[in-house]
Amino acid sequence: MTLTSYSSLPSAPPRAQGTLPDLRLGYLHEPLDTLLDDPRVLAVVGFGDAPARHADPRYLRVALQCDVATPFEVWRSRGPVTIGSQGPLRWAADADYEFGVIELDEAAHGGLAAAAELAYTAMDAHFAAASALRFPLRIWNYLDAINLGAGDEERYRQFCSGRAAGMRQGFARGYPAATAIGVRDGRRTLQVYWLAARHSGEAIENPRQLNAWRYPRQYGPDAPSFARAMRAPTASTQVYISGTAAIVGHVSLHHDDFAAQMGETLANLDSLLGAAGVEETERFGARSVLKAYVRREQDLAVARALIAASAASATPLLLLRADICRSELLIEIDGVQGTSNGTAD
Site residues (vs ligand 3EB, CB under 6 A): 141, 178-180, 212, 224, 226, 242-243, 245, 247, 325
Q: Which is nearer to ligand 3EB, 71 or 224 (CB)?
A: 224
Q: Is residue 80 reached through a cis peptide bond, with omega within 30 degrees of 0 on the bond before it?
A: yes
Nearest-CA neighbor of 85 among 98, 73, 76, 68? 98
CB of 163 to ligand 3EB, least distance (A): 8
Residue 1: count other Cβ atoms within 10 Å of its Cβ. Answer: 3
Contact assessment for residue 142 and residue 334, using Cβ atoms and an 8 Å cutoff: no
Q: Which is nearer to ligand 3EB, 319 or 324 (CB)?
A: 324
Q: Which is nearer to ligand 3EB, 242 or 315 (CB)?
A: 242
CB of 325 to ligand 3EB, least distance (A): 4
Residues contacting 249, CB < 8 A, separation 6+: 4, 6, 208, 209, 210
Distance CA 260, CA 255 (A): 9
Q: Which is nearer to ligand 3EB, 70 or 179 (CB)?
A: 179
CB of 245 to ligand 3EB, least distance (A): 5
Q: Would you call 119 helix, strand, or coil by DSSP?
A: helix
CB of 289 to ligand 3EB, least distance (A): 17
CB of 3 to ligand 3EB, least distance (A): 17
- Nearest-CB residue for ligand 3EB: 243
Alpha helix segments (H runs only) across the chain? 32-37, 112-129, 155-166, 258-275, 300-308
Residue 124: count other Cβ atoms within 10 Å of its Cβ. Answer: 18
> Is residue 332 annotated as part of the catalytic site, yes or no?
yes
Catalytically annotated residue among 73, 117, 202, 332:
332
Q: Which is nearer to ligand 3EB, 190 or 325 (CB)?
A: 325
Cα Rg, the chain, nearest whole Å: 18
Contact assessment for residue 327 and residue 147, using Cβ atoms and an 8 Å cutoff: yes
Catalytic residues: 332
